Structure 1
Amino acid sequence: MNADDLLTLSPVLPVVVLHEVEQAVPVARALHSGGVRVMEVTLRTDAALEAIRRVAAEVPDVVVGAGTVITPDQARAAADAGAAFLVTPGTTDALLDATVDTGLPVLPGASTVSEAMRLAERGFDRLKFFPAEASGGVGALSAIGGPLPHLRFCPTGGITSDSAPRYLALPNVACVGGSWLTPKDALAAQDYARVETLAKEATALGTEAATATT
């Protein structure tokens, strides 16, 4: 799998924060039942690496990756845990080198034209735009597409089910990252049926965006 393959797995890349390892497999299965075949587990909790390990081992139909990768050690640990891809909120030379060394597809984060150009110089043309809403949202990404039409983005940060279609309608957006598919209260209540329903709604967003651009 490469970055292009990753960006086509779902119109919405679920950004999942797990505080309990036991939630990992039920969440992955609920997302899959809703038509979403990918999930990004953020490395913001102590449960994250083991959660990635369990999903990779027990739910092979879901492509699980690591998000919020901010250090070289995290990149290596995520790869060792079985992550199929890495996502960073921003980039440094050391972090980029470490992610490349893992051999995994990477979505490095950028929020400015200069950062995007620098990543393109390093050979990355599939990027994360973060924090999307705080960095200008749809208008900013549309403007970036003018001078940098060869780059494609997965915007993340503040995007909702209401705003997602506007991002997906942009020619330089392949998918969006969203945390709304796995809301904190649903996970706390082990309401995986709700996660499945939200996944089904997210899957439909791709069809809506395609219709809007034709």
Structure 2
Amino acid sequence: MSGAARLGRAQSPLRLEVIVGSVRAGRFAPTVADWFLRTVRADPDFDTGKLDLLEFPLPQDLSENDAVRLFRRRLAAADAFVLVTSEYNHGYPAALKTAIDSAKHEWRGKPVGFVSYGGVSGGLRAVEQLRQVVAEVHMVSVRESVSFHRVRGQFGAEGETADGAAIDGAGRMLRQLSWWGKALRTARDAGPYPG
């Protein structure tokens, strides 16, 4: 890549893919994900897409199909990720684990943040487990996260929240994703990640 091309890419918005991890019937994920998407799409540092796992039939046996190939292409083009996760039985959804395991090189050397929700724990136990998993696929998890405790009471009829901690956490997490995303994109442009 030429110096001019690197400079142009360094100044362009980061491609952020928001991955919606719950596929359960009656899920609350769209409310949480749509709120976060409205928040991040107002930030000029990011060009944001949404990967709802309900729309990607990724096979649990990790075989390859058209959905997997499309999913991997979207991951490969991304500079950063946010995983929106619920917490089921002290863990994260199986669909999210399948998604992570369906790719390999596409995750490497990229930052990831978390938006979680649930009951009293707010999905924090799911996030702590995910931090271990994303490290194994060579992602960099940012410190800040967003968490909604007793989630159904945190959103109004229009899908907005007055949860100050979540609003503040989203801003802090996005600043960290921007910093890491730019640094790691520059590093990947300079040479392949040694993973």
TM-score for the superposition, normalised by structure 2: 0.36
TM-score for the superposition, normalised by structure 1: 0.34
